[in-house]
Amino acid sequence: DELVPQMGDDLYDGLKDEVAEGVNILLERGWAPYRILTEALVSGMTVVGNDFRDGILFVPEVLQAANAMKAGMAILKPLLAETGAPKMGKMVIGTVKGDIHDIGKNLVSMMMEGAGFDVVDLGINTDVDQYLGALETEQPDILGMSALLTTTMPYMKVVIDTMAERGIRGDYIVLVGGAPLNEEFGRAIGADAYCRDAAVAVETAKAFVA
Ligand code: B1M
């Protein structure tokens, strides 16, 4: 569809209204919400990420791109959530302390809700007390943690170690994700699984609660 590269440009330029309009047009053309998410929005953000890394884009521009992405995601959210899937379980999720990246986490939350999970989103910059407090009050099946920075990903281990110290590690399935992580890191910190993307998070969560 010729609209997709245009949407990539609009996302890159942080044009919120245009990105939202593009999402609506693709929906009218019969695109599935998940396809729009991955092929039009996430792919566009990859280009932004590369130019950010290479010093072509800076924080203010990336923030605008992120906001444009969120405008598109807001339209897709109810559509992804209304699949009428049977209730699967409950997940508490948050981006770890020191880290304010939330697009990936939000996407995982949306997809988990779409798959029938109740999701309690703790937001960004979540410290160990917030995670553990939520585990106690919400009693979820799953704890999800997201980190996008190499400097914040070690905090996941702090949370898991604290759970172990309190004797509650075995009560929850711990799933972790975020661009700088990998399977080996997930194993090393004692998570149950590393999830490469939101679709894998859903499949992994389903497999664990089954
Ligand atoms: Co930042 N940033 N950023 N940033 N940013 C990265 C992560 C970076 C890789 C860019 C780069 O240099 N190429 C780099 C990190 C380098 C490193 O650590 N080695 C970086 C940096 C350096 C920074 C700052 C330090 C920049 C600065 O201030 N100098 C700063 C840090 C602020 C902080 O957190 N303390 C910063 C700030 C920002 C913005 C605020 C401008 C903005 C965030 C806006 C927001 O989120 N509301 C931003 C953005 C947008 C990015 C990039 C470009 C895109 C991230 C994103 O949203 N991707 C990113 C570049 C990149 O990742 N290539 C970058 C799209 C999203 C759908 O993917 O988040 O990977 P992702 O999520 C995926 C999977 O990873 C997985 O599923 C998701 C969906 O498929 N997943 C999970 C994620 N979490 C999961 C949890 C799970 C399961 C799966 O739990 C069960």
The per-residue pLDDT for range 152-169, each reduced to its tens digit, is 999 999 999 999 999 999
Distant-in-sequence, close-in-space partners of 127: CB < 8 Å, separation ≥ 6: 97
Which tens digit of pLDDT belongs to each residue from 15-35? 999 999 999 999 999 999 999
Task: Identify the sign of the CA torsion 193, 195, 200, 206.
Answer: positive
CB-based contact 149:52 (threshold 8 Å): no
97 close to ligand 1 (CB < 6 Angstrom): no
**Cα separation of 23 and 38, whole Å?**
12
Question: Quick count: other Cβ atoms within 10 Å of Cβ 39?
Answer: 17
Pocket test for ligand 1, best of 52, 107, 150, 202 (most atoms within 8 A of CB): 52
178 close to ligand 1 (CB < 6 Angstrom): yes
**Cα separation of 202 and 135, whole Å?**
20
Whether 84 shows a pLDDT value over 80: the answer reads no
Supply the ipTM of this predicted assembly.
0.98
101 close to ligand 1 (CB < 6 Angstrom): yes
Give the bridge partners for 50, in sequence order: none
Residue-averaged pLDDT of the chain: 95
103 close to ligand 1 (CB < 6 Angstrom): yes
**Cα separation of 59 and 61, whole Å?**
6
User: pLDDT-derived band of residue 58, with 50, 70 and 90 as boundaries?
Assistant: very high
Q: In angstroms, what is the span from residue 90 Cα to ligand 1's centroid?
A: 25
